[in-house]
Structure 1
Amino acid sequence: MDTDAIRQSLPPWLLQLAADKVQLIVSTAIILLLSLIQIRKSLQSRKQQRSLEPEQGYPPIESLPDFDWSQTEPIKLRPFKPKYNLTMALETLDPSELILMDKTYKDRLLYRRSLLHRHHDIVVATHNEDKDPRVRAAVCELYRFLFATYLPRRYPDMFRLHEVAATDTGRDSNYMFENCVMGETYPAEVPREMATEQALETILKNVDEDYLILLPDPTTSSTGEEDASSPDDVQTKYTLYAYETCYPAGFNPREKIGRRLAAIHGPVPGYKAKLERSMDRFFDRIEVGKFVKRANWGIMAGKDVELFAAFGGLHGSKEDEVENEKIPEGELDLSSTFLRCERQTLHRLPKSRALVFGFHTYTYPIAEIKAEGLGEELAAAIDGLKTGNVPEIHTYKRAPVWANAIKAYLRDQQ
């Protein structure tokens, strides 16, 4: 008996019952499938791609869900100009672009970690933490912003935030930060048992940025100092209270901790006359939510000079001190000669009101600059170190050592 014959032999009520049950089963299956898909999406969102809301005052951070750090080239900074004038030269920064990622990220982190092991007391430090609670508060606030908000939101394929039961961690926070590139997890917020310096170490090991944390000197106030000569004089002075920095440009940062901006920049020729007052004023008045950036440049020349330059090699103070190191024309070692640029950022933390000065250091082989057709521009900029508003900057950047050799190479048409 065929199928049609069987169907015709059954009573209509039985056929309708069978059809209703099939429809019910199919509808239930579809609902269950859709529910499972929704639950999976919800779990992925909750467990892996969530970021905590930033403190009030921070602008929203735009996410880059398809960003591939391993295929992204470092940005090319070319800030040199025909005449070097010592100015602030600030530009507005999109907060979403506070930290840039590229294909050097993992290798640079490994280098930073080696520096932490070899030069711990130089690359990480705090000042007066036991007497000033503002120091830990500022470090904890920066830590939370980076690990709980900025990184997982901006780069969700590189960093994730996991919600865990409090009993699983025994910590104050119910979130763990995962660095997917390094295969490591850390608390998303600084727990009570973590030392402030350890929090700075964790930032150093996960972010290829150097951070200086500055707070108002308690001996100055908004009511002004006794020697203020006009209402426009800066009233609040900022002091370096904490840092993690792996790429100091020719100075030992440990010697700068606990010092005001003016003292930190003391060796820079022209700083007091050209920049001190404007920088102090700007630092005092920058508001929460405003982010700025600037760039500077210098030259690394010599086999002993590297990104970590805490023991000198990038700056000079007197021309006769560097003349004996002068590189003869035609003897420039291209393998150890680089244009060194810093991308500097500045913003204020909402709760602690601390200022965060960030630095990302890029190096470019001098041969790359010439290959780009910018040889004459850089050569002119080297000459321009002597013709700007602070001619002494030529010696400060150790140009007497490398200037003639590099200019000859850049201008050589061969």
Structure 2
Amino acid sequence: MSVILQKKIPYDPTDLRALPGIQPTQMQDWLYQDDAFAAQMNRRAALLSERRDDVLALDPQAEEAAQELLALLLATAYPDATDHVVRPDGVRVEIDTARPMDTLCLLVQEDFCILQKHGNEHVLTGAVLCFPASWRLSEKFMRPLVDIHIPVDSYDDNIARRVQRLFDGIKPDRPLWRFNALWYEDPELYQPRSASTPREKPEEGTTSYLRSERQTLLRLPHTGAVVFSIHTYVLAANSLSEMENPA
């Protein structure tokens, strides 16, 4: 498997904020394309073909939200789409509205999680997750927010309440974003890991690669579902000092 790395990143990944670390953003900044677009998209297509049951899940109650998400993404990233789109790398993708999550997977670099309110909590009812950072979709599917974040040590009861209030307050067309910084020795994008065997967390600067996820939260106006998107960057750790002006 070839190594897929970005050469730059649109923020300083070492300038972390305390959890939940949320900032406002705009719809035009919801989705990103970067210098690893073609390589990441090829990897996504291979994972969808070879490991579909591991990277995609959709509960029937989330079907309408998935359709709405696909329509919004097309309007945002491919406004001239008809029955197909041609990606920036020249690849033609057929728009299959009967399989919205599959189509989403092949259109942009972002992974997507759909969360819907059940009682007092938001539950993960759908996702396409090609690039998990040490978690398994099968273990989190149909689980509420608190369970999704186990075993994140810093995600305590106070943070859980704040995050649930945050989800309740998200407005359509007013997305929010945050990022993380994860140090890895292996640059592989597809890194599922069971919660029962948590990964040892190395210190900053002790590994060969920095993995950073640009995460956004967006409410779909019709179904009211919250979409959590993840754009994954993997950079050589020794390249960070060379980025005087990340862009």
TM-score, normalised to structure 1, is: 0.53
- Report deviation, 1:76: 4.1
CA distance in 2, matches of 1:102, 1:351: 30
Please point out which of 114, 124, 143 is paired with 2:70. 143
Secondary structure at 1:206 match in 2: coil
CA distance in 1, matches of 2:11, 2:178: 11
CA distance in 1, matches of 2:69, 2:13: 28
Secondary structure at 1:271 match in 2: coil
Read off the aligned partner of 1:310 and give its amino acid letter: P
Q: CA RMSD in A?
A: 2.8
| Structure 1 residues 35-64: Cα deviation after superposition (integer angstroms, max 9, x where no partner) | xxxxxxxxxxxxxxxxxxxxxxxxxxxxxx
1:353 corresponds in structure 2 to: 224
Q: How many residues align?
A: 237
8 Å contact 2:65–2:225 — kept in the other structure? Answer: yes
Secondary structure at 1:279 match in 2: helix
Secondary structure at 2:47 match in 1: helix
% identity of equivalent residues: 24
Read off the aligned partner of 1:138 and give its amino acid letter: A
Specify which structure has the higher proportion of strand: 2
Please point out which of 53, 68, 78 is paired with 2:12. 78
Q: Which runs of 4+ in 1 moved over 3 A?
A: 180-183, 370-373
Alignment of 1:6-405 (within 5 A): 74-81=8-15, 86-127=18-59, 129=60, 132=61, 135-147=62-74, 149-153=75-79, 160-161=80-81, 175-180=82-87, 181-187=89-95, 190=97, 194=98, 198-217=99-118, 220=119, 236-302=120-186, 306-311=188-193, 316=198, 337-372=208-243
Read off the aligned partner of 2:30 and give its amino acid letter: L
CA distance in 1, matches of 2:34, 2:192: 25
1:17 corresponds in structure 2 to: none
8 Å contact 2:23–2:177 — kept in the other structure? Answer: yes
CA distance in 2, matches of 1:111, 1:346: 24
Read off the aligned partner of 1:214 and give its amino acid letter: L
CA distance in 1, matches of 2:93, 2:193: 33
Specify which structure has the higher proportion of helix: 1
Structure index of larger Rg: 1
1:63 corresponds in structure 2 to: none
Read off the aligned partner of 1:88 and give its amino acid letter: P
- Report deviation, 1:178: 1.6
1:377 corresponds in structure 2 to: none
| Structure 1 residues 364-388: Cα deviation after superposition (integer angstroms, max 9, x where no partner) | 1011124448xxxxxxxxxxxxxxx
